Amino acid sequence: MRINNISTHVMYNYNRQTLMQQKKDFLEANYELVNGRVPDIGLALGGKIGRFLNIENQQSLLNELKITNGLIAERMAAGQIAIKSLVYAPRSNESEPEGALVRFNKILLGASSGKATSRSLTKEAQLALDVFVSALNTNIDGEFVFGGANTNEPPLTYYKAGSDEGASKIVRDEFRGYFGFSPDDSAAASITKEQMQEFIDGPFSDLFEDPSWGINFSKADDIPQRNSISPDGVVVDTSVSANKDAFRQAMKSLILVAEFSEAGLSEDAVAAVEEGARNSSSASIGSAINKISIVSSHLGSLENRIQSATEQIESQLTLLQDLRMRFIGIDQNEAAARLEEIKLMIAVSNGLTVQISRLSLVNYLSVR
Give 219-276 pLDDT, tens digit per residue.
999 999 999 999 888 999 888 999 999 999 999 999 999 999 887 899 999 999 999 8
Domains held by the chain: number: 2
Q: How does residue 88 score in pLDDT terms, banded at 50, 70 and 90?
A: very high
Residue 344 lies in a domain: yes
Residue 40 lies in a domain: no
- Considering the domain architecture, whether residues 104 and 242 belong to the same structural domain is answered as yes
- Considering the domain architecture, whether residues 281 and 345 belong to the same structural domain is answered as no
Pairing of strands 139-140, 226-228: unpaired
What's the rounded Cα separation, in Å, for the pair 51 and 81? Answer: 45
Higher-pLDDT residue of 304 and 110 is: 304
Higher-pLDDT residue of 324 and 12 is: 324
- Considering the domain architecture, whether residues 149 and 285 belong to the same structural domain is answered as yes
Residue 309 lies in a domain: no
- Considering the domain architecture, whether residues 148 and 19 belong to the same structural domain is answered as no
Residue 35 lies in a domain: no
- Considering the domain architecture, whether residues 225 and 116 belong to the same structural domain is answered as yes
Q: Mean pLDDT, to the nearest integer, of 131-158?
A: 95
- Considering the domain architecture, whether residues 281 and 336 belong to the same structural domain is answered as no
What is the domain range of residue 7?
A: 1-28+332-368
Report field, pTM of the whole predicted structure over 0.85: no
From 244, 262, 293, the end of a domain falls on 293
Residue 129 lies in a domain: yes
Amino acid 47: pLDDT: 73
Residue 255 lies in a domain: yes
Q: How does residue 92 score in pLDDT terms, banded at 50, 70 and 90?
A: confident
Average pLDDT taken over every residue of the chain = 84
- Considering the domain architecture, whether residues 7 and 126 belong to the same structural domain is answered as no
**Burial call 165-198: b when 16+ CB within 10 Å, e when fewer:** eebbeebbebbeeebeeebeeeebeebebebbbe
- Considering the domain architecture, whether residues 357 and 287 belong to the same structural domain is answered as no
Q: Name residue 125's amino acid.
A: A
Residue 237 lies in a domain: yes
- Considering the domain architecture, whether residues 234 and 97 belong to the same structural domain is answered as yes
* Cα angle 186, 189, 194; round to 5: 145
**Burial call 62-73: b when 16+ CB within 10 Å, e when fewer:** beebbebbeebb
Report the run of H or E that residue 205 belongs to, with start and end: helix 205-206
Residue 193 lies in a domain: yes
